[in-house]
């Protein structure tokens, strides 16, 4: 893969008179204010510098070097600086509070070190990671923020660049489908010298159509239709111009894999598997085709609908605040109005936030805590430096107000907008850590079941048509035991937790005369460590989707080594079929939902390709509902996975069709097919970083197909076109690319 860094290095920025200098030497330039926080900053450092000095920064956790202009830089095109650290950058407006997405310096360069400067240029029209544009705004502030461990680093020569002149460049040229080349370019390129040959024979280009996808303004995509179809061998594309590093692009087109679709063998895909948590607005729901929206997560446990307050618990210094979004009723209304169903979480501990300002661990009462909120110095994190919780447990009434089933009923009855699904609290089993101030006692099987039953009865009384999703268990470990541990299993006939829970809910239906559990709801986060994001980790990220369904895939994490449960094949996850079997044994007819899951790295192309694979698997394995945690960036790789399947009204088919691969290789590819009204749709994801894959597609009807794709050699590029398929003997999917094809 050509790195994004190389592409940026190929952008040439001319310093023009209107550039705004932020810092060169000794002090911030005139007009800039120091809005940093919790950081020791020396503007005249001489231990590492260019010119006469640099800025050295020593930031505490989540703290930042932040500078604000007296004025704004509304339409500037970039930011240039020299840095010796990996940080997160945001551009923001102190005028209206707008903030850019987090820009990770690791998305700009893998080569940054702490002992020498790396020169970086951020193009505001093509932000690293998403490729989105910053857009015009009342921008006036730039923030370099450290992570949870703080950071010590140097930065120098900071300039807000008025204009970045983009030299014309062919970024990639890749074979796609039967006879199309997808060419990614920047600037004003010239196709007149472009030549294509296959196995030494020149091929004519019969059609050239260029698009400027609206959200990646620095990249254009041109589709070239070739006069003949691809075949195995050497494809050589000569741009005919020097073109930076690559004046030619060459590919070895491999032998085909045999694949057949059987549209007659099919079953419905639940429409509710294409969900996210907290979609940003109605156009987000429509652009990505979101079908299910969840109001959930750690902060909704303390949601007080009366004052619209909440508390993030252990995620943020146990502080109350105004909920965001504030009004659940209004939220249900607009997500449904945009065409999505709504899953609303109802708090089910004994307390909710009493105001927007209180917090549980003031330094004035509990000195000597491990850390304090950098924005609110008196609010501690509730832990001593040795990692144990501070004592005594605070009085809940300091921060919370009582909550019970009657209050939940009054709230739900009063809603103008009724959700289709209700979840009973969130990850209740770990409340003694996420909400240690509210519920310090570890949860066991019996208390969790009692709360689920009490709330389900109350909720179904208030909203007779609603479906209940529970218990929203956080992870593999807690699927099988409780916070009390294995003595709790022993006290319940040695049954693992979720099988026991299903059995109890089945018994409860007999007593209640109706279902009190409609969806068994779990959260699923991959247990393997891919945090290094090196090539090994990327490949692992992409193949671990096998843990969703494959009994032959020993989990590449602690689960594969020391599984800690009493289930069959305990070292494999095989998540969806496993839970379908448990449901069949203990409570037949219960649906299965995954209300939190993640790609493990939303900003990386591999996170997007993995999400494509997951959405395909959800349909193929008959999952009933799923919502991504948290809100994917609409223009980032994960958002593009939703766009691929469902963008702007063009949907993957409603019935999963049979896919037969002669020699499946799930580690490096995923293939999904669907049918609807007699039309075939297909999604193929190529997980190889640098080699195309090719298929002979038996039973794929000839004719016109709508094609959409993202990924590829130019990073996160995307777009869509129409192709004619007049031979299915040799269909190409480029490296690190997901392709959607739908019969017109
Ligand atoms: C800049 O702000 C930081 C954080 O508030 C502070 O520690 C530092 O002394 C300030 N530096 C100057 C030169 O004002
Ligand atoms: C941003 O501002 C520039 C300069 O004023 C203008 O040319 C451009 O059209 C604006 N873009 C948008 C998206 O409003
Ligand atoms: C070229 O392809 C585009 C996009 O598919 C299509 O709209 C156009 O009609 C084609 N032009 C010719 C001459 O076939
Ligand atoms: C682009 O050039 C580099 C360096 O010469 C080469 O390794 C790479 O394979 C080329 N890319 C393509 C698609 O031909
Ligand atoms: C942790 O530190 C606190 C406060 O100093 C102390 O009371 C407690 O005993 C310590 N816990 C452990 C496990 O060492
Ligand atoms: C909930 O609390 C209110 C106010 O204290 C009380 O009137 C009501 O009976 C309680 N409901 C239940 C089910 O305990
Ligand atoms: C469930 O409801 C029963 C009956 O109202 C009550 O006695 C019990 O304390 C409740 N359990 C929990 C955990 O709230
Ligand atoms: C690459 O990532 C893998 C998986 O996270 C890790 O085990 C390995 O140590 C990493 N290798 C290097 C050289 O960082």
pLDDT tens per residue, range 584-625: 999 999 999 999 999 999 989 999 999 999 999 999 999 999
Tokens coding 726: 């007049």
pLDDT score recorded for residue 112 = 82
Q: Point out the least confidently predicted range of 223-232, 235-244, 642-651, 729-738.
A: 235-244
Residue by residue, DSSP assigns 7-30 as HHHTSB----TT-EEEESSSSBPT
pLDDT digits (tens, 9 = 90+) for 287-344: 999 999 999 999 999 999 999 999 999 999 999 999 999 999 999 999 999 999 999 9
pLDDT score recorded for residue 115 = 85
* Residue minimizing CA distance to atom 4 of ligand 8: 537
Q: How far is the CA of 150 from the centre of ligand 5 (A)?
A: 24
* Residue minimizing CA distance to atom 10 of ligand 2: 136
Q: How far is the CA of 207 from the centre of ligand 3 (A)?
A: 6
Closest atom of ligand 4 to CA, residue 172: 13
- Whether 722 lines ligand 3, by a CB cut-off of 6 Å, is yes
Q: How far is the CA of 614 from the centre of ligand 8 (A)?
A: 24
- Whether 569 lines ligand 2, by a CB cut-off of 6 Å, is no
Closest atom of ligand 3 to CA, residue 722: 5
pLDDT confidence bin for 218, thresholds 50/70/90: low
d(CA 708, CA 653): 15
pLDDT digits (tens, 9 = 90+) for 97-108: 999 989 988 778
Pair 583, 502: CB distance under 8 Å:
yes
Give the residue, out of 73, 74, 75, with the most ligand 2 atoms within 8 A of its beta carbon, to mutate for a pocket test: 75
- Whether 210 lines ligand 2, by a CB cut-off of 6 Å, is no
pLDDT confidence bin for 476, thresholds 50/70/90: very high
Element (H, E) at 688: none
Q: How far is the CA of 57 from the centre of ligand 1 (A)?
A: 10
- Whether 388 lines ligand 5, by a CB cut-off of 6 Å, is yes
- Whether 726 lines ligand 3, by a CB cut-off of 6 Å, is no
Residue by residue, DSSP assigns 136-171 as S----EEEEE--TT-EEEEEEEEEEES--B---EEE
Beta-carbon contacts of residue 367 (< 8 Å; ≥ 6 apart): none
Q: How far is the CA of 402 from the centre of ligand 6 (A)?
A: 9
Q: Which residues of 511-541 are buried (b: 16+ CB within 10 A; e: fewer)?
A: eeeebbbbbbbbbbebbbebeebeeebbbbb
CATH number 1.10.287.610 is the correct assignment for the domain at 2-165: no
- Whether 209 lines ligand 2, by a CB cut-off of 6 Å, is no
Q: How far is the CA of 385 from the centre of ligand 5 (A)?
A: 8
| Intervals of CATH 2.60.40.1180 along the chain | 169-265+656-743
* Residue minimizing CA distance to atom 9 of ligand 2: 136
Rounded percentage of the chain residues whose pLDDT exceeds 70? 97
Q: How far is the CA of 74 from the centre of ligand 8 (A)?
A: 41
* Residue minimizing CA distance to atom 1 of ligand 3: 207
Ligand nearest to the CA of 133: 2
Beta bridge partners of 294: 277, 343
Closest atom of ligand 4 to CA, residue 237: 14
- Whether 110 lines ligand 8, by a CB cut-off of 6 Å, is no
Q: What is the mean pLDDT of residues 269-291?
A: 97
pLDDT confidence bin for 131, thresholds 50/70/90: confident
Q: How far is the CA of 727 from the centre of ligand 1 (A)?
A: 67
Q: How far is the CA of 26 from the centre of ligand 1 (A)?
A: 14
Of 700 and 165, the one with more pLDDT: 700
- Whether 75 lines ligand 2, by a CB cut-off of 6 Å, is yes
Q: What is the mean pLDDT of residues 56-62?
A: 93
pLDDT score recorded for residue 216 = 60
| Intervals of CATH 2.60.120.430 along the chain | 2-165
* Residue minimizing CA distance to atom 9 of ligand 7: 450
pLDDT confidence bin for 128, thresholds 50/70/90: confident
- Whether 136 lines ligand 2, by a CB cut-off of 6 Å, is yes
Closest atom of ligand 2 to CA, residue 133: 13
- Whether 37 lines ligand 5, by a CB cut-off of 6 Å, is no
The angle formed by the CA atoms of residues 666, 669 and 672, to the nearest 5 degrees, is 95
Q: Which residues of 70-89 are buried (b: 16+ CB within 10 A; e: fewer)?
A: eeebeebbbbbbbbbbbbbb
Give the residue, out of 179, 208, 209, 708, with the most ligand 3 atoms within 8 A of its beta carbon, to mutate for a pocket test: 209
- Which whole-number Å values give the CA distances from 420 to 180, 276, 417, 519, in the listed order? 44, 15, 10, 12
* Residue minimizing CA distance to atom 1 of ligand 7: 454
Element (H, E) at 106: helix 105-108
Cα dihedral sign for 450, 453, 456, 461? negative
Tokens coding 581: 């079997």
Closest atom of ligand 6 to CA, residue 405: 13
Q: How far is the CA of 34 from the centre of ligand 1 (A)?
A: 6
| Intervals of CATH 3.20.20.80 along the chain | 271-307+327-348+402-529+575-645
CATH number 3.60.15.10 is the correct assignment for the domain at 169-265+656-743: no
d(CA 155, CA 118): 9
pLDDT score recorded for residue 9 = 36
Is pLDDT at 1 greater than 50 in this prediction? Answer: no
d(CA 492, CA 501): 11
Give the residue, out of 205, 207, 221, 720, with the most ligand 3 atoms within 8 A of its beta carbon, to mutate for a pocket test: 207
pLDDT score recorded for residue 564 = 83
Q: How far is the CA of 557 from the centre of ligand 8 (A)?
A: 13
Closest atom of ligand 7 to CA, residue 451: 13
pLDDT confidence bin for 205, thresholds 50/70/90: very high
Is pLDDT at 10 greater than 70 in this prediction? Answer: no
d(CA 96, CA 83): 29
| Annotation: CATH topology of 271-307+327-348+402-529+575-645 | TIM Barrel (3.20.20)
Neighbour order of strands in the sheet with 195-198: 201-203, 195-198, 233-238, 248-253
pLDDT digits (tens, 9 = 90+) for 420-472: 999 999 999 999 999 999 999 999 999 999 999 999 999 999 999 999 999 99
Radius of gyration in angstroms for the set of CA atoms belonging to the chain, rounded to a whole number: 27
Is pLDDT at 109 greater than 90 in this prediction? Answer: no
Could you tell me how far CA 344 lies from the centroid of its own chain? 21
Q: What is the mean pLDDT of residues 522-526?
A: 98
Q: Which of 71-75, 210-214, 373-377 has the largest mean confidence?
A: 71-75
Q: CB within 6 Å of ligand 6 — which residues?
A: 404-407
Q: How far is the CA of 702 from the centre of ligand 3 (A)?
A: 18
Q: How far is the CA of 288 from the centre of ligand 8 (A)?
A: 34
Closest atom of ligand 3 to CA, residue 207: 1
pLDDT score recorded for residue 148 = 82
- Whether 234 lines ligand 4, by a CB cut-off of 6 Å, is no
């Amino acid at each position: 893969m050509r790195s994004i860094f190389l592409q940026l290095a190929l952008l040439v920025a001319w310093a023009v008179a209107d550039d705004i200098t932020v810092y060169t030497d000794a002090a911030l330039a005139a007009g800039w204010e120091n809005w940093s926080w919790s950081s020791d900053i020396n503007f005249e450092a001489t231990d590492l510098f260019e010119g006469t000095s640099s800025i050295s920064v020593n930031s505490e956790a989540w703290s930042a070097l932040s500078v604000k202009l007296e004025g704004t830089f509304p339409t500037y095109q970039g930011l240039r600086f020299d840095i010796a650290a990996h940080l997160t950058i945001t551009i923001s407006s102190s005028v209206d509070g707008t903030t850019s997405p987090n820009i990770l310096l690791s998305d700009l360069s893998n080569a940054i070190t702490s002992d020498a400067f790396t020169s970086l240029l951020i193009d505001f029209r093509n932000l690293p990671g998403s490729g989105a544009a910053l857009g015009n705004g009342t921008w006036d502030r730039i923030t370099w923020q450290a992570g949870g461990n703080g950071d010590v680093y140097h930065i120098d020569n900071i300039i807000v660049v008025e204009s970045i002149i983009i030299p014309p460049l062919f970024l990639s040229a890749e074979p796609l489908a039967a006879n199309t080349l997808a060419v990614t370019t920047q600037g004003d390129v010239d196709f007149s010298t472009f030549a294509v040959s296959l196995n030494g024979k020149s091929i004519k280009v019969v059609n050239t159509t260029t698009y400027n996808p609206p959200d990646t303004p620095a990249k254009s995509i041109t589709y070239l239709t070739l006069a003949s179809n691809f075949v195995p061998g050497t494809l050589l594309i000569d741009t005919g111009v020097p073109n930076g590093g690559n004046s030619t692009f060459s590919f070895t087109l491999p032998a085909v894999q045999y694949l057949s679709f059987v549209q007659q063998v099919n079953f419905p895909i639940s429409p509710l598997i294409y969900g996210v948590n907290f979609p940003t607005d109605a156009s987000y729901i429509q652009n990505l085709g979101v079908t299910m929206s969840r109001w959930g997560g750690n902060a909704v446990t303390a949601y007080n609908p009366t004052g619209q307050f909440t508390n993030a618990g252990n995620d943020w210094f146990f502080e109350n605040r105004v909920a965001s979004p504030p009004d659940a009723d209004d939220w249900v209304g607009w997500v449904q109005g945009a065409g999505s169903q709504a899953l609303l979480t109802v708090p089910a501990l004994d307390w909710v936030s009493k105001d927007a300002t209180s917090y549980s661990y003031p330094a004035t009462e509990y000195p000597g805590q491990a850390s304090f909120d950098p924005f609110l110095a008196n609010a501690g994190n509730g832990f001593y430096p040795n990692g144990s919780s501070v004592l005594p447990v605070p009085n809940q009434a300091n921060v919370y107000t009582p909550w019970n089933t009657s209050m939940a009923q009054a709230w739900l009855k009063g809603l103008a907008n009724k959700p289709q699904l209700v979840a009973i609290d969130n990850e209740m089993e770990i409340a003694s850590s996420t909400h240690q101030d509210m519920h310090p006692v570890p949860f066991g099987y019996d208390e969790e079941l009692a709360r689920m039953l009490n709330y389900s009865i109350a909720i179904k009384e208030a909203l007779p048509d609603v479906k209940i999703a529970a218990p929203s268990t956080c992870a593999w470990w807690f699927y099988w035991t409780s916070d009390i541990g294995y003595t709790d299993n022993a006290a319940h006939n040695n049954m693992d937790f979720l099988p026991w829970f299903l059995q109890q809910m089945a018994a409860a239906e007999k007593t209640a005369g109706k279902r009190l559990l409609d969806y068994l709801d779990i959260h699923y986060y991959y247990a393997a460590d891919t945090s290094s994001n090196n090539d090994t980790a990327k490949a692992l990220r992409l193949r671990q989707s096998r843990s969703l369904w494959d009994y032959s895939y020993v989990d590449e994490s602690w689960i594969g080594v020391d599984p800690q449960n009493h289930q069959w094949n305990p070292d494999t996850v095989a998540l969806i079929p496993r839970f379908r079997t448990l449901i069949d044994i203990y409570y037949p007819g219960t649906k299965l939902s995954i209300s939190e899951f993640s790609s493990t790295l939303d900003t990386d192309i591999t996170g997007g390709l993995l999400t494509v694979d997951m959405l395909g698997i959800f349909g193929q394995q008959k999952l009933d509902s799923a919502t991504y945690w948290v809100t994917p960036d609409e223009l980032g790789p994960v958002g593009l996975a939703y766009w691929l399947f469902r963008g702007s009204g063009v949907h993957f088919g409603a019935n999963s069709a049979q896919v037969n691969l002669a020699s499946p290789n799930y580690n490096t590819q995923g293939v999904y097919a669907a049918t609807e009204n007699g039309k075939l749709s297909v999604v193929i994801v190529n997980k190889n970083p640098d080699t195309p894959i090719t298929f002979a597609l038996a039973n794929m009807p000839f004719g016109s197909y709508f094609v959409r794709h993202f990924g590829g050699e130019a990073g996160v590029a995307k777009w869509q076109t129409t192709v004619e398929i007049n031979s299915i003997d040799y269909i190409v999917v480029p490296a690190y690319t997901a392709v959607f094809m739908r019969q017109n």
